[in-house]
Structure 1
């Protein structure tokens, strides 16, 4: 019996990878297209010895106890997606494509100074090239091998609405936002200019009235879905999601305010400009003891490729920091792991980034990281301190100072007033289409 008979293979790319693909396409002035496969073309000859029982209504009356041996993978078989992926990989590599090392669902073909990008999503392929002839030849090559249809320009991917223009690419979740609001029947009593008030400090309260846990979970599920293109609500949704187990009325009202804000900004999304470059820069911040329940700090940050936002994060730290310095060093640790992964993804595209800038508004922390003398720190902080120091010494990253007024990472660590919130939104490329 196969050891992986109960395991599934999912050919899906992470959203950071999708946004990076769009960012790379803009930097190279590539227009993205989409191919769709018919179901029958994805079935491939089974290389494994697999048996299935006779289907009901079609049993052989002479040999009812017999089973069928599969010659071809069936739809629904847990090994079938991997068989299709293996078939596609072998075909593309035979024709000169290189599979990504960090992203196994991405393939690149290099011809002279031109590039053809192929990204696989289940039974769909997104592709684009710096040379139209390469893209045309790729479509013809795929049609000769598989039953497929040319969908046209990419307009939808993994729940994201995509609009391509001469100036760049706009992504949003407007339809998803409207569906969520309609389902939850959110009434627009008044417009919220920000998703969370600056005076709100949420915490657990055993004496407060309990909220409808099922409704609260439904609200959080919808809001978490929207964070794929809405970094402006990432922090506030993350705070509210901490209280899913036992929501109270204060938590419910906070989540409702986010929905009210979303209802007034359903068309808001991210714009990826073609007027950009391929340099990487990260903004990193922390809110010391930002969680009132356990005293843990909040790490937040975002990564930009040129002028375009690729990834962001807002999460509670695992350990309690004894000072703002320790909280910031822990935040740097979260930041560099994401930077290294994005740098590896870019290498798959043939883009080499020699050094990455990390911006912080805490000069004391920057100086401490550049100082090679030993500091008394907790073990987990000490390890991250040494790792970041080594990256600085190797010139893999460069620590730079940014003023608090320009520290856009604050968008992911604390509630902001309307002016700061609006400025930071504009800085990361959020706009209406």
Structure 2
């Protein structure tokens, strides 16, 4: 119940109030009259048609206008001992007419203050005196008429006591308003508030003002997903026209009628906002992308392989840049894929918004150059870029084909290419600018200045090192999944919780789960703390169930706790390559296979980690640990070769394990009942150990950092491992 409708005589308005007291022992129409004046408390109230008021004693028709018989009538007085004769008016007009107002002149000039006694029975509370006083006070009396309310004893008969005057009751100062349904229009919107706003988790007070401005500009823009969204905005319409104009100038296609037997592929628009180094918008980029997944091998394409920079290589480059104090510059190649030529005959449908003057039926675009989205486009572009870079004296790294090195020592210049984004690192800025000018003479480049935003990664240069995180990407993920208002979680998954392929109901739309897991996989490049959970979630993308989706949403709550958590590469770290390896024996509840987990450091900088289920079932913890050591050794061999491209020697490499049996098995050529069935490739560890490349160390389980990649830990252990791994949040929350 909202309240009672109350009519206020003074303001002539109707309000709804819960603060209502019903005085059933007092009738408001019982007037106090004198022989010379009739006091009407309700001058605007009209009586029903045809009704009349007569003396209460002469007619029983209007008994309802009398005070109940339980309350004895007393004779009001004016002044002291002056009786007041009742004056009764009769309404005879059939039309509703108000009772005449009180006269204010003449006979009222010399009237003494009116004393209104309480009409109280022995069973009626004396509190009824207050409503009567309020009833009198609310009425507009003549200036010289002062109503006085006196209390009557409950023990004696009704009579007047003393001359004490009760103070007037306090009037409410609240402004009365009409109900919303009396307005011309109203809209009752339920007020809602978020208990855990995202603003409490994103704070930029710990970063420089320039970087805080960069982050604010980065998060203040949004990009459309579909053509019908972008075509409404003039900046995106202009961007699409620029893209089509550039393709026509480069003679990317020719408009023809499709030959018989040929099937054209479709295309779509992709929209991106390019930012300057200070975070301001550089340009709106609309890119036409072919839907290459509809191409047929042998008809539309043949070879498709193209090297792409690994994220581990990018982290190694940042770690070396922090230690050696290298400069980092970023370049963006405009329309990079248009620099490659096609060897196959490919037809594409006309893009949305494209107008042509060619006449004919079934018009399509016959591609003459590769565009984004074609299966062979990346390969054609990289071949062109590779040939140009070699002309400047760069040498391609045999361990990372997207990495090019020139010179050595302080004159070393490293170039890393990720599709059409190029990062140049080196000690001397002049050498980097020379490389930049050389590439600018062959390609249309956009100089983005110091490295701050690599695709999905935020890079922040600080005096004591370089931080790397995916804060903007994490906030976008939370916004897309509707998790900005979730309560932050302290752990990525409940401790000791394991997911099974048989638990729960199947999801009606598995695409939602698959897309979410794919987004989370990209976030693990800078978040080793969620790697183990995402590894578990990725095992159920074929048949996801409700518990798997609930676990994914719980992980989003954990990500909200610290969206800016990421890696930090210290400038004072050494270049010793070391690795921590561990396994969780028979961890999978469905296959009973063990989980391998390891993390690799370059000095104190974390550069690589992995959490993966083993391919075969292990018969003992020794075998599970030994297989994990073999996987970690493979990673160490590759990292050592990658560092050798920078002319850095890291041997011997340190490997830390908490299983004594596995260490003895690797150190000694002993075959017994527990190890004779192990495959020969696992003894790869022993070979590297004997060659001097590897050095094994035993570590206690309490200090095994790789334990976080094998199982769900409790909060104290989880927090301690995060601290030891060197993860920091450059945007810590106030809590």
CA distance in 1, matches of 2:630, 2:650: 19
Compare relative contact order (CA 8 Å, sep 6+) and give the higher one, 1 or 2.
1
> Secondary structure of the residue that 2:655 maps to in structure 1?
strand
Q: Report matched runs for 1:235-254 at 5 Å.
A: 235-254=532-551
| Distance apart, 1:80 and its partner CA | 4.5
Deviations 1:33-52 (A, max 9, x none): 1012222x764475x76556
Question: What is the aligned partner in structure 1 of residue 433 from structure 2?
Answer: 136
Question: What is the aligned partner in structure 1 of residue 312 from structure 2?
Answer: 16
| Distance apart, 1:201 and its partner CA | 3.1
CA distance in 1, matches of 2:346, 2:644: 43
Question: What is the aligned partner in structure 2 of residue 202 from structure 1?
Answer: 499
| Distance apart, 1:429 and its partner CA | 1.8
> Secondary structure of the residue that 2:412 maps to in structure 1?
strand
Q: Report matched runs for 1:164-179 at 5 Å.
A: 164-179=461-476
CA distance in 1, matches of 2:687, 2:605: 28
Q: Report matched runs for 1:30-429 at 5 Å.
A: 30-39=326-335, 43-44=338-339, 46=341, 73-76=369-372, 79-110=376-407, 113-186=410-483, 188=485, 190-205=487-502, 208-214=504-510, 215-376=512-673, 381-429=678-726
CA distance in 2, matches of 1:55, 1:270: 44
Structure 1 residues 42 and 262: alpha-carbon distance in aligned structure 2, compared to 1, 3 A threshold:
closer
Deviations 1:259-288 (A, max 9, x none): 111111111111111111221101000010
Checking the alignment, whether the CA contact within 8 Å between 1:10 and 1:122 is kept in structure 2 is: no
| Distance apart, 1:379 and its partner CA | 7.2
Checking the alignment, whether the CA contact within 8 Å between 1:213 and 1:246 is kept in structure 2 is: no
| Distance apart, 1:53 and its partner CA | 6.7
Structure 1 residues 84 and 367: alpha-carbon distance in aligned structure 2, compared to 1, 3 A threshold:
same
Structure 1 residues 394 and 11: alpha-carbon distance in aligned structure 2, compared to 1, 3 A threshold:
closer
CA distance in 2, matches of 1:400, 1:58: 73
Q: Does 1:26 align with 2:322?
A: yes
Structure 1 residues 219 and 139: alpha-carbon distance in aligned structure 2, compared to 1, 3 A threshold:
closer
CA distance in 2, matches of 1:129, 1:401: 38
CA distance in 1, matches of 2:442, 2:544: 54
| Distance apart, 1:116 and its partner CA | 0.4
> Secondary structure of the residue that 1:217 maps to in structure 2?
helix
Checking the alignment, whether the CA contact within 8 Å between 1:211 and 1:249 is kept in structure 2 is: yes
Structure 1 residue ranges without an equivalent (≥5) = none
| Distance apart, 1:246 and its partner CA | 3.2
Instruction: Give the TM-score, by structure 2 length.
Output: 0.54
> Secondary structure of the residue that 2:555 maps to in structure 1?
helix
CA distance in 2, matches of 1:231, 1:311: 9
CA distance in 1, matches of 2:408, 2:582: 42
When Rg is computed on C-alpha atoms for both structures, the one with the higher figure is 2
| Distance apart, 1:349 and its partner CA | 1.8
Checking the alignment, whether the CA contact within 8 Å between 2:329 and 2:432 is kept in structure 1 is: no
> Secondary structure of the residue that 2:540 maps to in structure 1?
coil
CA distance in 2, matches of 1:242, 1:78: 27
CA distance in 2, matches of 1:427, 1:285: 16
Structure 2 residue ranges without an equivalent (≥5) = 1-296, 351-355, 731-735
Checking the alignment, whether the CA contact within 8 Å between 1:300 and 1:315 is kept in structure 2 is: yes
Checking the alignment, whether the CA contact within 8 Å between 2:611 and 2:710 is kept in structure 1 is: yes
CA distance in 2, matches of 1:350, 1:116: 12
CA distance in 1, matches of 2:344, 2:327: 42
Instruction: Give the TM-score, by structure 1 length.
Output: 0.89
CA distance in 2, matches of 1:197, 1:74: 48
Question: What is the aligned partner in structure 1 of residue 79 from structure 2?
Answer: none
> Secondary structure of the residue that 2:593 maps to in structure 1?
coil
Checking the alignment, whether the CA contact within 8 Å between 1:329 and 1:381 is kept in structure 2 is: no
| Distance apart, 1:332 and its partner CA | 0.9
> Could you tell which deviates more after superposition, 94-103 or 107-116?
107-116
Checking the alignment, whether the CA contact within 8 Å between 1:220 and 1:237 is kept in structure 2 is: yes
CA distance in 2, matches of 1:104, 1:387: 25
| Distance apart, 1:120 and its partner CA | 1.2
Structure 1 residues 146 and 424: alpha-carbon distance in aligned structure 2, compared to 1, 3 A threshold:
same
Checking the alignment, whether the CA contact within 8 Å between 1:191 and 1:260 is kept in structure 2 is: yes
Question: What is the aligned partner in structure 2 of residue 431 from structure 1?
Answer: 728
Deviations 1:156-199 (A, max 9, x none): 22311211222211111111111111121126554321112224
Checking the alignment, whether the CA contact within 8 Å between 2:300 and 2:346 is kept in structure 1 is: no
User: RMSD across aligned C-alpha pairs, in angstroms?
Assistant: 2.9
> Secondary structure of the residue that 1:409 maps to in structure 2?
helix
> Secondary structure of the residue that 2:327 maps to in structure 1?
coil
CA distance in 2, matches of 1:195, 1:287: 18
CA distance in 2, matches of 1:335, 1:53: 46
Structure 1 residues 148 and 380: alpha-carbon distance in aligned structure 2, compared to 1, 3 A threshold:
farther
| Distance apart, 1:129 and its partner CA | 0.6
How many residue pairs match? The answer is: 425
Checking the alignment, whether the CA contact within 8 Å between 1:330 and 1:384 is kept in structure 2 is: no
Report the structure, 1 or 2, having the larger helix content: 1
